[in-house]
Amino acid sequence: MGSEKTQPKRAGTGQNSGETGIGASSLSASSMGRSGAEVAEMMERVVESSNMRKAYWRVVGNKGSAGVDGMTVAELKGHLQANWAILKERLLAGTYIPSPVLRVEIPKPGGKGLRPLGIPTVTDRVIQQALHQVMVPLWDKEFSGYSYGFRAGRSAHQAIRQSREYVAEGRRWVVDMDLEKFFDRVNHNILMDRVARKVRDKRVLKLIRRYLKAGILVGGVVEVPQQGTPQGGPLSPLLSNILLDDLDKELERRGHAFCRYADDCNIYVRSRKAGERVLSSISRYLEEELKLKVNKEKSAVDRPWRRTFLGYTMTWHKEPRLRVGPEAIRRLKGKVRKLAASGRGRSLRYTISLLTPLLRGWYNYFSLAQVRNIFEELDGWIRRRLRCILWRQWKRSFTRARNLMKRGLSEERSWRSATNGRGPWWNSGASHMNRAYPKSYFDCLGLYSFLDHHVVTS
């Protein structure tokens, strides 16, 4: 991987040729049909005014951080109004050069290392989004019906329901495939060959390759990637689906039952022997045809109820029931602990206001779970965590006894509980705190209850 020193500048600055505004010119009516000429002149459709406006508002709505040039989403409108003419001229001429992406690292789920992201400049995000909007209709209708990631009208919930259906049909073994560092290992030539199957406009092909080759700014040095596609840009999910569509078509050709969400692919079979055979042959296909490597340590042939797919697992019954995966529960508890700690010294109502968006979003994703007991257990655990905050805040035995009496406990019981010598976590789960601060108390403060919502929506 080559590298060079860099001094990031704002992208697209230069003399304005007189044309201002996003996409100031439009195409003729003849260019709007799905003709070969239109595909060959795709760049004109990319820079067309309505497409660029749509891309602009999508980027603004997504917000996000600044790239290497430091330009924020709030500054984007003025920048495009002042510089769109030169940007458009360079795009149409095929001479536009993307800026490097900014490398940031975020924790992987479960705290297992860091995941690198590449943040393009806001200008490049608009251009990538405009490309995405024009390219998606060419591919999406031909993508597999069992590809669920990063597609309009498709979702993780659909993939999860389909996986359960496969197991209910008797495919009680799963080939759980993990592609090793997929986004870092994408072969540029193989990917561009797949893109060129439908894109004949050489300017678009050149621009996409430039985005793949755009430098990555790490510690003041620009590293030029020889493979991979940085996660973080609007175009990356579509490019990954274009590449992995070959895998989908191969699985369909062989008659396999599968679900794929981005680079997470499960294949459902009726026996361990069949699963091992499939894992071996598909691993070989990926390595030979797409130059992708299967992580043998993380991939396995196993029972579906022993594996996790998109955060869910399931029971072993003939008609399996969906369950929340143990890792998702562990991550939620970690986030609740962190938020609860940040609320110490403040009112319980304030802490609950911090928790509500997290709990609501978590339940919205895991609302498909059919095993209710985990929701009841989590509700109880969260209430205990909040009671623990109260016990810590009271500090002195006198304060603890007084507050317990205010909540209706007898003087004798209050003093016995306040002076029991036990720690905050033990007391938060003890009968005196449950009696003084029952579920109804937290309901009045607006605490989100998983079980209450599950009963309503089941």
Indicate if the pLDDT at residue 121 is higher than 50.
yes
What percent of the chain is modeled with pLDDT above 90? 75
Indicate if the pLDDT at residue 418 is higher than 80.
yes
Indicate if the pLDDT at residue 338 is higher than 60.
yes
Indicate if the pLDDT at residue 23 is higher than 60.
no
Q: Tens of pLDDT along 59-78?
A: 999 998 898 999 999 999 99
Lowest mean pLDDT among 83-92, 112-121, 152-161, 351-360: 112-121
Cα distances (angstroms) measured from residue 367 to each of 324, 327, 361, 377, 432: 9, 16, 10, 15, 32
Highest mean pLDDT among 25-39, 96-110, 351-365: 351-365
Indicate if the pLDDT at residue 105 is higher than 80.
no
Lowest mean pLDDT among 270-274, 281-285, 344-348, 364-368: 344-348
Query: Tokens at residue 302, please?
Result: 């196993």
Mean pLDDT of the chain: 88
Predicted structure pTM score? 0.84
Q: Tens of pLDDT along 217-232?
A: 777 777 677 777 778 8
Q: How many helices (H) and strands (E) does the chain have?
A: 20, 11
Indicate if the pLDDT at residue 336 is higher than 70.
yes
Q: Which residue has the higher pLDDT, 106 or 12?
A: 106
Q: Read off the amino acid at residue 165.
A: E
Q: Tens of pLDDT along 271-327?
A: 999 999 999 999 999 999 999 999 999 999 999 999 999 999 999 999 999 999 999
Alpha helices in 149-295 (DSSP H): 156-168, 182-185, 188-195, 202-213, 236-253, 272-289
* Confidence label for 30 from pLDDT (cuts 50, 70 and 90): very low
Indicate if the pLDDT at residue 36 is higher than 80.
no
Q: Read off the amino acid at residue 454.
A: H
Cα distances (angstroms) measured from residue 237 to each of 51, 132, 182, 243: 19, 9, 12, 10
Q: Quick one: pLDDT at residue 10?
A: 44
Q: Quick one: pLDDT at residue 340?
A: 87
Element (H, E) at 176: strand 173-178
